[in-house]
A and B are shown apart, each in its own frame.
Chain A
């Protein structure tokens, strides 16, 4: 199900917790699984659950509770835009609108070529740098004014 590299990451995460608390690693393992698969198909969730010796439904509860897990396929680049109030005061809404127009999709949609998915996010803890995006859950983009957005889309190959 998972690559050797991903399994190695799983093992490293499990090592952080007491031996009888493997379930603690579920969030990290699901994140690594998602990184490898692009999203979290049920089989991947179950495989993580099996790996950690927990019920599949318990892993699903976790996967469906936290926002950053994708239970449906997403584009190669998932861009999450913070539109919470502090960001909105400094252009969060507008940056989102700008992106939507440029990509021709709305939130929770994926471009035809499967390249981009847009999501609306909650506060990312970077309000001073508004507007803020996160690409693929991993890299944060600050001060996303039109020129920066254009550049970002350019860089997403």
Chain B
């Protein structure tokens, strides 16, 4: 520990602290622009110059290491003179356009200019003009003359996003922030640069000129769009969401959110919003009052239950439904005699449901990822499925963590990987088994039964070794692993690997409330998300699910829905395909318009309130399910608040939920006897198609991540099929087909074709990882 005195305040700080760290600790504010606690130190803006006893010159607080007994003066004459000098320099070429600048009112430069700026400019020369740039639909770089060259955006790309898209080209006063020859900024984390920019140079393109910062009310919320549960500030004007920003929570999202989370709000004002209950009568859709709609639903469901039994009813919900919504949905269904409630529309293998001992979760706290020595991620499109977890792993890998990846595509996770194995979906099991075998060999323990014929390889040994070597290591199962036909085997192998290496086994988690859903809905009884379609039912309730895009096998799901006599569609959006097979459409509130709770992948329960009033006649789903329970005369539906529902499920006042466990009880490893024949499909869920809100955000839909799916395959597969890059191909799967463009991608394993799910052009196809045929169209 070192002793330091700042403006007379004494403090003890750890070795290696900077004066800026120490100032923060004692609560002294030192003005700064380029410094950001999550970024490397650049010390280029020079705003943080302070006086240090015995130093002949003012020193930058952000970069000056504390020495024992140091005395610092942040407001002395020398310090203030230096700071004012810097401020003057920053302003000489800065346009005086605060009144029309989007950053006005929340601009660090503007704030500081008030405190440190001169009254009258001594600079009478012409101001330097920087040409505007076009970098895509999300970030506006229209007013680059405002840039103060702090390089936060550049460092963010290099260090946090893991990809250097912006750079500072040229030199001297001609230095400019730009992309390589005018390319777009495509990182899934790019919006954070807008927050980092201390002036109005990088601004939000969709938000530009829609509101002034002082007109906005700031409301807290929780992201509904991935398993991290990023904390949000939602900015609101006249009951409209105008902007979504990260709310700092070091333990959860640090200070970041993904672009999907930042720009999905644009869907909230989409024309497709469902704002009135609707009932189909004689093939015609009619807007009706809520009581009419609920009566209709109650009668319809009761009739089916009475005539065909509870098993003829099924409900399927999205994983970003709240704990309260899911619990009440299940309660209604149970009350109607049906246990067929599920929230895992993409899952295929449910073998483990019966033997699971708790809700599957990350197995650790998110914040502890940085402590891991070794990590193996199995089956994940990591960057796009879990942008913030990928970010944490990226930072960890820069320190000491050895991160390995076993997955089905060669996508660059932008992580400095220790090892990677890329195999076809049907080979995930044998490859993971090889790691297990390597671990057993390294540890000189008996091989688990069933792995005798597995062949270890250099990579499997390298991975096993990295898990064994560390004090703390982990095996994380990603979305592909959960959605795989071999999900249970992968789970069992991961547990075995955990036992052998001491690694914690965890699930990255598909949705915002995957963990909470497991706690709110029992999956031990009743038909699962696959069975409810394999054996078609008479009546379905869909909550937040758009089967064409959200189901693992949309073909199967849609066929079953079409034959049903009653389909109740609860959604925030008037999903066009559903107009065909649904009978009732109930407008429910998206997360911005309701209170509720999500339990994130680390088991953290985060409750939130609605930030705006529900649009039109839309209502929070938990309220409408409560009323439905009442209309059905079911017991126990007299909740006064969503908190009451939550407390019933999770207990009151819990920060971290209980009942989490990744163990399986009583299943054994059985490896496939031979690997699959024929062409296999690999389906990723592109980040901006992953949920109904993202799908309807015009800005997100213009990004590079939203380009229409192609049929991607490696050179060998192309040759085998007698195709070349850019050929038009007809892809057939089950009863459906799609015409796509073939694309050479040597990251795709041989014998596989990568065709994204969740997109209109591919939703006529079947299983995400099933066999397909491809021919020239």
Contact = CB atoms under 8 A, between A and B. Distances in A.
Contact of A58 (B164, B170, B171): B164
Contacts of A58: 164, 167
B165 A57 contact: yes
B209 interface: no
A15 interface: no
Contacts of B170: 64-65
B171 A46 contact: no
Interface of B: 163-171, 179-181
Among A42, A45, A55, which residue has the most Cβ atoms of chain B within 10 A?
Answer: A55
Nearest to A46: B180
A42 B181 contact: yes
A107 B163 CA distance: 38
15 contacts: A46-B180, A55-B163, A55-B164, A55-B165, A55-B167, A57-B167, A57-B179, A57-B180, A58-B164, A58-B167, A60-B167, A60-B181, A61-B169, A64-B170, A64-B171
Contacts of A56: 180
A60 B171 contact: no
B171 A57 contact: no
Nearest to B168: A61
Contacts of B179: 57
A45 B183 CA distance: 14
Nearest to A54: B164
Given A55-B167, A58-B164, 6 more contacts: A56-B180, A57-B164, A57-B180, A60-B169, A60-B180, A61-B167
Contacts, number: 31
A64 B163 contact: no
Contacts of A55: 163-165, 167, 180
Interface string A40-53: 00100110000000
Contacts of A42: 180-181
Interface of A: 42, 45-46, 55-58, 60-61, 64-65
Nearest to A65: B171
A143 to B, nearest CB: 31
B162 to A, nearest CB: 10
Judged by DSSP, the binding face of A is: helix
A55 B179 CA distance: 11
Of all A-B residue pairs in the complex, the 5 with the closest CB atoms, nearest first, are A57-B167, A55-B164, A64-B169, A56-B180, A42-B181
B603 to A, nearest CB: 38
A65 B179 CA distance: 15
Contacts of A61: 167-169
Contacts of A64: 169-171
A60 to B, nearest CB: 5
Contacts of B163: 55
Nearest to B176: A64
B338 to A, nearest CB: 55
A57 B184 CA distance: 12
B189 to A, nearest CB: 16
Nearest to B166: A57
A58 B155 CA distance: 12
A45 B167 CA distance: 14
Among B165, B170, B171, B181, which residue has the most Cβ atoms of chain A within 10 A?
Answer: B181
Contacts of B181: 42, 60
Contacts of B180: 42, 45-46, 55-57, 60
A61 B170 CA distance: 7
A130 to B, nearest CB: 25
B178 to A, nearest CB: 8
Nearest to A42: B181
Nearest to B174: A64
B581 to A, nearest CB: 48
Nearest to A59: B180
A55 B180 CA distance: 9
Nearest to A49: B180
Nearest to A43: B181
A46 B163 CA distance: 15
A61 B164 CA distance: 11
B134 to A, nearest CB: 16
A35 to B, nearest CB: 21
A57 B153 CA distance: 13
Contacts of B169: 60-61, 64-65
Contacts of B165: 55, 57
A60 B166 CA distance: 11
A30 B170 CA distance: 15
Among B168, B169, B171, B179, which residue has the most Cβ atoms of chain A within 10 A?
Answer: B169
Contacts of B171: 64-65
A62 to B, nearest CB: 10
A150 to B, nearest CB: 35
A64 B169 CA distance: 6
Contacts of B164: 55, 57-58
A24 to B, nearest CB: 17
B221 to A, nearest CB: 34
Nearest to B163: A55
A59 to B, nearest CB: 8
B418 to A, nearest CB: 15
Nearest to A60: B180
A40 to B, nearest CB: 12
Among B170, B171, B180, which residue has the most Cβ atoms of chain A within 10 A?
Answer: B180
A57 B171 CA distance: 14
Nearest to B182: A42
B179 to A, nearest CB: 7
Contacts of A57: 164-167, 179-180
A83 to B, nearest CB: 17
A60 B169 CA distance: 7
A84 B253 CA distance: 53
A42 B181 CA distance: 7
A33 to B, nearest CB: 16
A57 to B, nearest CB: 4
A26 to B, nearest CB: 13
A58 B158 CA distance: 10
A27 to B, nearest CB: 14
A65 B167 CA distance: 11
Nearest to B167: A57
A57 B135 CA distance: 14
A65 B181 CA distance: 15
A121 B545 CA distance: 66
A72 to B, nearest CB: 13
B39 to A, nearest CB: 17
A61 B181 CA distance: 11
B531 to A, nearest CB: 48
A134 B187 CA distance: 43
Nearest to A56: B180
B354 to A, nearest CB: 49
Contacts of A60: 167, 169, 180-181
A57 B163 CA distance: 10
A79 B166 CA distance: 33
A57 B169 CA distance: 8
Among A42, A45, A46, A64, which residue has the most Cβ atoms of chain B within 10 A?
Answer: A64
A57 B185 CA distance: 12
A135 B668 CA distance: 76
A65 to B, nearest CB: 5
Nearest to A45: B180
A71 to B, nearest CB: 9
A61 B177 CA distance: 10
